Structure 1
Amino acid sequence: MSEISYMSNASLQRVRVLLGVTGGIAAYKAAELVRRLRDAGAEVRVVLTENASRFVTAMTFQALSGNPVRSSLWDEGAEAAMGHIELARWADEILVAPASADTIARLAQGRADDLLSTLVLASSAPLSVAPAMNQQMWAQPATRANIDLLRQRGVRVLGPASGSQACGDVGEGRLLEPGELVEAMLKARGPRSLDGLSVLVSAGPTYEDIDPVRFIGNRSSGRMGFAVAAAAVQAGARVRLVAGPVALATPAGVERIDVRSARQMRDAVVASAADSDIFISAAAVGDYRPQAVSPAKLKKSGKALALELVQNPDILAELAAQAAHPFLVGFAAETNDLEHYAREKLERKGLDLIAANRVGEELGFECSENALLLLWPGGREELGMAEKGVLAKALIERVATLHAAARGKRGRG
């Protein structure tokens, strides 16, 4: 690969990169990666895992980076001053290259049993991983599930490349070349489609209490909304996430507000909408709630039980009715006539964009994959079946394009 000129892009100047090197034959390429990162203007500190030190030495990385190399949580000199916390706070970017299958699994599980995994958990810096492993290990469903989970949390996955491997196999699993990794870091740090904008996202279900034990809810897992929040952060936005009751980790760089009911979600969204440029309503907000909530658990009587339901506030319609409101993006989950109902909702509520997906028959809810139909006044785009993190990135790019066009029209007006 030809030498890369960094003079035209100073986006890594004075950027503090924490490089995690894990065990594997590709660890030797990390030495060249340190040099390339420094050539691009970055300050680099290196953390070696125990297995990495079997392939490469700390002295090599100390000489190349100009900084001490860390490899253990039990470094008495460094940990007397809580060195791992200091290092986690120091980093502007964390890059794990090469990232072995074992390390990828540890990061996906949230393990903190060595220095590198602990630093990742203790830092709010953006995380990138560059997988390097045997092609069969990369193809394993467990590895792909771990990678998908990391992507959903906003982790950048760089590579792997395809080609001949040290073991003699040929296929996907090769570490990207050092120059390619630096280019990826430069691209991630460069101008992004939502730079300087504030994005508000709602996600997950809402629960409406019947009594202290029971509630009315829906099957939304929140995965799509959380993936959208992570994608918005990656696009450069300041992101606030209003989340219904879900068991999902907060994406890196996202401010999270937890709610339970539709009215709580409405209050949180309305309070945050005033200083938001874009609102993406990915939550499955309950349309109805019981008119009265029993203060005590309802007992079985042997007779039918009738619940009187009243309508919940329509958050999107309320915002659209305001004279000044964010760019509005809605979601439509339909079991039939998808485009018809989505288009009707777009027009009725006065939205700028709607993302429609079919649900039922093992589609939409509680799945890692989905497909979306994007509709806006005068346009449409189909996003085929893909992992939700991938769909979220495509959605965010469409939102960014339409928002920029809308802002341009207002400016000319």
Structure 2
Amino acid sequence: MTAPQTLTTFAGRELHLHVSGSVSASLVPWWVNWLRFTTPEVIVNLSVSVRAATFVSVEALRALANGEVWLDDWDAGSVPRSWRDGQSGGSECFIVFPATLDTVMRLAQGRAESPAHMMLQVTGLPIVLADVIPAENEVIDHWRGVLLKRPNVSFAPRIDTPRAIDRTATTSGFNLPGALAIANEAITESRR
């Protein structure tokens, strides 16, 4: 029997989770609840893509989070003004959780089609992508490599997980404790 692993929590004071549209988004409320339980002093802000709202409601996340929660749409009335400066309240980092293939490719191409994407394009704060990319190939590797040229971008460590559709084994970066560990390192480095 192996010893249980210690889950990494966020060492900062405030963070921002951007939720993009994948079935994995339906698990974000559980993770936000876990984060709030394990580190109640941390302020959790969230932006939710229009596609993610298919899998998780903004209202549910507002009930769980203690920071700003907004729909990532130019026409949404709840979008805070801080996104224009690459900020989200007093967040010290951004975690894209889950980061779909579409989100990874849009960010790599420099596209800013929504307030959150614009915020992620212009920020100097650490960004950790917890990707849920369904396959690997040269094109995906290329766009991941383009993003990694930015000094403030990292990917969460991959973990073994079952696929949502057929439950076969795969690996995924949908790993909030791993993303938090990377974020903690980046924040510590930026404070030096």
TM class, shorter-length = 0.7 to 0.9
SS in 1 for 2:70: coil
Residues 1:122 and 1:187: Cα distance change in structure 2 (over 3 Å): closer
SS in 2 for 1:95: strand
Structure 1 residues 363-395: Cα deviation after superposition (integer angstroms, max 9, x where no partner): xxxxxxxxxxxxxxxxxxxxxxxxxxxxxxxxx
Tell me, yes or no, if the aligned pair for 2:111 and 2:118 is still in contact at 8 Å.
yes
Deviation at 1:110, TM superposition (A): 0.7
**CA RMSD for the aligned pairs?**
2.7
Deviation at 1:181, TM superposition (A): 3.1
SS in 2 for 1:56: coil
1:143 partner letter: I
2:136 paired with 1:145:
no
Deviation at 1:83, TM superposition (A): 5.0
- Answer 1 or 2: higher relative contact order, Cα 8 Å, separation at least 6: 2
Residues 1:103 and 1:170: Cα distance change in structure 2 (over 3 Å): same
Equivalences for residues 164-313 of structure 1 within 5 A? 164-168=162-166, 169-173=168-172, 175-176=174-175, 178-190=176-188, 192=189, 196=192
Equivalences for residues 3-402 of structure 1 within 5 A? 4=7, 11-12=11-12, 14=13, 16-38=14-36, 39-40=38-39, 41-71=41-71, 72-76=73-77, 78=79, 82=81, 84-85=83-84, 88=87, 90=89, 91-134=91-134, 136=135, 139-154=136-151, 155-168=153-166, 169-173=168-172, 175-176=174-175, 178-190=176-188, 192=189, 196=192
Deviation at 1:146, TM superposition (A): 1.0
Structure 2 gaps, min length 5: none
- Partner Cα distance (1:109, 1:101) in 2: 12
Deviation at 1:174, TM superposition (A): 5.5
- Partner Cα distance (2:191, 2:83) in 1: 30
Rg (Cα) greater in structure: 1
2:83 partner letter: H
* TM superposition score normalised by structure 1: 0.40
1:240: which partner in 2?
A: none
Structure 1 residues 25-53: Cα deviation after superposition (integer angstroms, max 9, x where no partner): 11123223323443334211100011100
SS in 2 for 1:113: coil
- Partner Cα distance (1:89, 1:179) in 2: 21
Q: Percent identity?
A: 19
- Partner Cα distance (2:139, 2:48) in 1: 24
Structure 1 gaps, min length 5: 197-413
SS in 1 for 2:75: coil
Report the more deviating stretch, 92-101 or 24-33.
24-33
Deviation at 1:195, TM superposition (A): 6.5
Residues 1:132 and 1:115: Cα distance change in structure 2 (over 3 Å): same
Tell me, yes or no, if the aligned pair for 2:131 and 2:155 is still in contact at 8 Å.
yes
2:164 partner letter: A
SS in 1 for 2:128: strand
SS in 2 for 1:88: coil
Deviation at 1:184, TM superposition (A): 3.5
- Partner Cα distance (2:68, 2:54) in 1: 18
Tell me, yes or no, if the aligned pair for 2:8 and 2:178 is still in contact at 8 Å.
no
Q: Which runs of 4+ in 1 moved over 6 A?
A: none
Residues 1:47 and 1:78: Cα distance change in structure 2 (over 3 Å): closer
Deviation at 1:175, TM superposition (A): 1.6
